[in-house]
Structure 1
Amino acid sequence: MATDLVSASHSAASGAARKRRRFGWDDPSPAFYTEDAGLRFQPSSHLMMIPQHKSIVDAPQYSSCSQKLLAHQLAAPRKKSPPWQEDDKDGHFNFKLGDDLTSRYKILQKMGEGTFGRVLECWDRDSREIVAIKVIRSAEKYREAAMIEVDILRILSKHDRDGSRGCVQIRRWFDYRNHICIVFEKLGPSLFDFLKANDYRPFSVDLVREFGRQLLESVAYMHSLSLIHTDLKPENILLVSTEYTKVVDRKNTTKHSLYMKRVPKSSRVKLIDFGSTTYDKECSFSIVSTRHYRAPEVILGCGWSYPCDIWSVGCILVELCSVQFPLFTSRKLKLALPMLSVLADYMIAVVAKR
């Protein structure tokens, strides 16, 4: 059973948990449909075509099967709670595709996995949309870190009601079988994953310029709230849309062979992963950021603040143009040399602020 903590704050989480009433399990999902009978399961890629915040039975293309689907939903008996499954040896949540994560969410696929836990793509039966749910490992230290991230996400959302500031939006969170689960809006692939799927062909300068503008605006928004992300990298920048088009790759195309490359249809991006985000007043001499995007003052142990995010943004933009991962290595020293003057100016600016 899940404890509904949608409106609870982190401060209230330490008190007695308020439990909701027990629901039935495995309601027939709107994900189960065909154009004819509306009862066959389709993969998540098909679900992306469903209008968000709208029941599928209201969609014009499914009007012919709406009555059958509704009757099936009303007549189907509710199933018992899924059997308890032990976590794996590392405390990750065990699941099977098609399982329920509470009676509200149906697991469609695994989107990713990291040190913190797993991200699952789920169908939200209440809001009739696909969401991404970050399921944190059951170890206490990860649960505590997750609650800090929830606090940060709620602050970011509080001052960004329309989601225009470029930070992923939290929908709600809950505690399910000793796992903190954070529900997010569903976004597209990360910039790194897009480049990887595109055979590491670089983005155009114009597109990188647009990415840079959005990144700087998002970072400025966080800094205005005295928050420092501290872990900016291509993996933590997601395209909002999954759609892309294919164009001729003129750089690699020859008379005898034609090469195509993917270009995202929308340049809009959002920041994710605020698990390492901290307040400026809490800054210290600790090591932060992924190594290849780590600012010089962090490496030298000089203490860090807002500029460490700006350094990471600079590294990211150069990589997106050149597809040199990582930027600063001995083999790529020639590429890194033009950045040395920037490094010098950067360090002077950091020292001047002290």
Structure 2
Amino acid sequence: MSAAVHPLSTHLMPHYGRPVLNGVSHHSMAGPSVVPNASPVVTRKRKRAHQYTVSYSEVQEVDSSGKVREVIVIEDTPPPPTLSPATTHNAGYSASYQPPALAPIRTRARAAAEAQAASSGSSSVLTAPAPKKRKRDHQDEVRAPAAKKLAAGNQQAVATAKSWETRSAAATDDTSKGPAPCDDKEGHYIIVPDDMIFSRYRTVRLLGQGTFGKVVEAVDTVTNNKVAIKIIRAVPKYRDASKIEIRVLQKLKERDPLNRNKCIHLLHWFDHRNHICLVSELLGMCVYDFLKENDFAPFPRHHIQDFARQLFGSVAFLHDLRLIHTDLKPENILLVNNDSRLINVPIPGKRNGATKTKKILNSTEIRLIDFGSATFETEYHSTVVCTRHYRAPEIILGLGWSFPCDAYSLGCILVEFYTGIALYQTHDNLEHLAMMEVVMGKMPERFARNGARSKPEFFKDGSKLDWPKAKSTRQSKKDVKATRPLAEVIPPHDNINRQFLDLVQRLLAFDPAQRITVRNALEHEYFKLVIPEDN
């Protein structure tokens, strides 16, 4: 299957100039960037009532020079519908969620034997289900409330933790029979506690697994510091993609050795038994995981301002280097320290002074991570980028993309910090555009005409969005109808909210040529406000 690559529209170019940066070089890419997701089971405030499978395929895109490039497309399974911040009319919180725990991890020999038995059709060996991963492309999973915690799941999680702490006699016997394979049948490195990687790093526990590899906590035996190691699958296309990320990370560290711009720093990389390994500092949980553990309660407004100032600084630094992140989302924002305190807050809609506990972070310091999809301005641009919930309209309409797509993602993230849940709850392109028009108003005429030329199937009568179509489901129509304008999602009841709303509106502008740049956004009045501490 082939897909046309749409060049960046000329009307986008005046939005960002091309300053000459000393020391910044633009290398040619071997192909589009791909990146593993560090979270083994990433559930969001999205429509998910059951488990989903990962389905991904390879397609080819032809770049402007006529060269065919392989692209990894991760296809999402559409989940059942639910409510979004734009469709929820009360301020209630969702139920807490405990993701399904993985089965205890065994020795490398036993894990390899089980993988081999599974591939041969044996029914006598039980293997743990593969962790689910966020999927990207035309059908993306919807961020929705998750299910209640299960006691059985907690017990299984405890059992998993214990399996990391000790080795059984049976495990010792397995390893004593001779060298064991280090990969499973899909090319993932088999993680074993206390394994020595590169004769230097002693593994502690698995932190996450994605399509492109695993992330483990380890101890650097040279410095005795804890680190995180991303171990890429031993598959050529994933190895090649990881080298693109390494090049970007090296550039970031070269230009900001003291890490004033709060991007993750690459400490070391190496090739271990045919697996590219990237070593970085060990940080806290991602911002999304904190939201999930906090029952998707919104962040305090002064914390949102702290997050925004740091995030905008990080992304502006990338843009100064002519680099576009293309995958900004709460999963790719790590807390340096996720220690928190508990407070009691009123339950909206409840009488008699009912309260619930809420976590408040002790520190809002963050790091921006996951540069596997980052793209230099002058290099090859894949047609579809960004995770669905943060994808700009110009990407959906195939109009090409550049720096403004990062600004749009930041606008979506700020709304999620304010409400606790993602702004757009959808997995369909036309439905997504219809929700955007409810949130931000009708598309500007020029932008709509450009979209109609690129994607005529989404428009009618020239430049009017063709919604709803005859085949649109009742639930889809209901979801769009229930969507609320941005001024209702962020009510401007005081000056703080008024300035916050204005900033988000500028970030979410339909036309990327009219969207505020990230560097200019740092000069917005919102960042000049002194926001008092609240809950």
Asked whether the two chains share a fold, i.e. TM above 0.5, the reply is yes
Counterpart in the other structure of 2:346: 250
Q: CA deviation at 1:205?
A: 1.5
DSSP 3-state at the match of 1:335 = coil
Give the C-alpha shift of residue 284 in structure 1.
3.4
Show the counterpart of 2:411. 314
CA distance in 2, matches of 1:344, 1:162: 34
How far, CA to CA, are the matches of 2:381 and 2:291 in structure 1?
A: 34
In structure 2, do the counterparts of structure 1 residues 227 and 181 end up closer, same or farther at CA, with 3 Å as the change threshold? same
Whether 1:104 aligns to 2:200 is yes
**Cα contact 1:249–1:261 (8 A) shared by 2:** yes
Task: State the partner residue of 1:294.
Answer: 391
The Cα shift of 1:294 comes to 0.6
Q: In 2 relative to 1, CA 108–336 (structure 1 residues): closer, same or farther, beyond 3 Å?
A: farther
Partner residue, 1:157: 253
Q: In the alignment, residue 314 of structure 1 is paired with which amino acid?
A: G
User: What residue in structure 1 maps to residue 243 of structure 2?
Assistant: 147
Structure 2 partner of 1:349: 514
Counterpart in 2 of 1:238? 334
The change in CA–CA distance for 1:184 and 1:254 in structure 2 (over 3 A counts) is farther
Instruction: Tell me, yes or no, if the aligned pair for 2:415 and 2:422 is still in contact at 8 Å.
Output: no
Secondary structure in structure 2 of the residue aligned to 1:123: strand
User: 2: CA distance between counterparts of 1:180 and 1:301?
Assistant: 33
How far apart, CA to CA, are the structure 2 residues paired with 1:349 and 1:283? Answer: 24
Matches within 5 A, 1:1-354: 83-251=179-347, 255=352, 257-282=354-379, 284=381, 286-329=383-426, 331=479, 333-338=482-487, 342=506, 343-344=508-509, 346-349=511-514
Identity percentage of aligned residues: 43
Letter in 2 for 1:275: G
- 8 Å Cα contact 1:285-1:302 kept in structure 2: no
The DSSP-based 3-state class of the residue aligned with 2:234 is coil
1:71-118 deviations in Å (ceiling 9; x for gaps): xxxxxxxxx9x9442412221100212222232111111111112200
Q: Does the 8 A contact of 1:131 with 1:186 survive in 2? A: yes
- The separation in 1 between residues aligned to 2:262 and 2:345, in whole angstroms, is 30
C-alpha displacement at 1:255, in angstroms?
A: 4.6
The C-alpha deviation readout for 1:13-36, integer Å capped at 9, x for no partner, is xxxxxxxxxxxxxxxxxxxxxxxx
Give the direction of change, closer, same or farther, for the CA distance of 1:108–1:171 in structure 2 (3 Å limit): same
Distance 1:297 1:277, change over 3 A: same
Q: Which amino acid aligns with 1:201?
A: A
User: Any unmatched runs of 5+ in structure 1?
Assistant: 1-9, 12-42, 45-79
Q: 1:108 to 1:285 in 2, by over 3 A?
A: closer
Structure 2 CA distance for aligned equivalents of residues 286 and 350 of structure 1: 20
Structure 1 residue 249: deviation in Å?
2.2
Q: Deviations over 1:213-268 (max 9, x none)?
A: 11110000001111100000010000111322212223458657542111111111
**Alpha carbons of 1:279 and 1:260: their partners in 2 closer, same or farther (altered >3 Å)?**
same
Q: Distance in 2 between matches of 1:346 and 1:209?
A: 25
SS in structure 2 at match of 1:195: helix
Matched to 2:291, the amino acid is: L
The aligned amino acid for 1:130 is K
* Distance change in 2, residues 1:255/1:168 (3 Å): same
- Once residues 245 and 289 of structure 1 are traced to their aligned partners in structure 2, the CA distance between those partners, rounded to angstroms, is 33
Q: 1:129/1:336 Cα in 2 relative to 1: closer, same or farther (>3 Å)? A: farther
CA distance in 2, matches of 1:180, 1:186: 18
Contact 2:415/2:423 (8 A) holds in 1? no
Separation in 1 of the partners of 2:194 and 2:382?
45
Letter aligned with residue 143 of structure 1: R
Q: CA deviation at 1:344?
A: 4.4
- Alignment deviations for residues 112-132 of structure 1 (CA, whole Å, 9 cap, x no partner): 111220000001111111000
The 1:121/1:344 distance shift into structure 2, 3 A limit, reads: closer
Distance, in Å, in 2 between the alignment partners of 1:113 and 1:284 is 26
SS at 1:349 equivalent: coil
User: Whole-Å Cα distance in 1 between the matches of residues 356 and 194 of structure 2?
Assistant: 38
Aligned residues of 2:202 and 2:218 also touching (Cα < 8 A): yes
Judging changes above 3 Å, is the alpha-carbon distance between structure 1 residues 211 and 300 closer, same or farther for their aligned structure 2 residues? same
Equivalent residues of 1:189, 1:242 under 8 A apart: yes
Residue 167 and residue 183 in structure 1: after superposition, are their counterparts in 2 closer, same or farther (change >3 A)?
same
How far apart in 1 are the matches of 2:425 and 2:197? 42
Query: 1:6 matched to which residue of 2?
Result: none
Residue by residue over 1:292-337, the C-alpha shift from the partner in whole angstroms, topping out at 9 and shown as x without a partner, is 1111111111111100000000001101111223535463753355
Aligned with 2:346: secondary structure? coil
Structure 2 distance, partners of 1:83, 1:258, is 57
Q: CA RMSD of the aligned region, Å? A: 2.9
User: Which structure 2 segments of 5+ residues have no match?
Assistant: 1-26, 29-160, 163-175, 427-434, 436-478, 488-500, 517-535
Residue 484 of structure 2 aligns to a residue whose secondary structure is helix
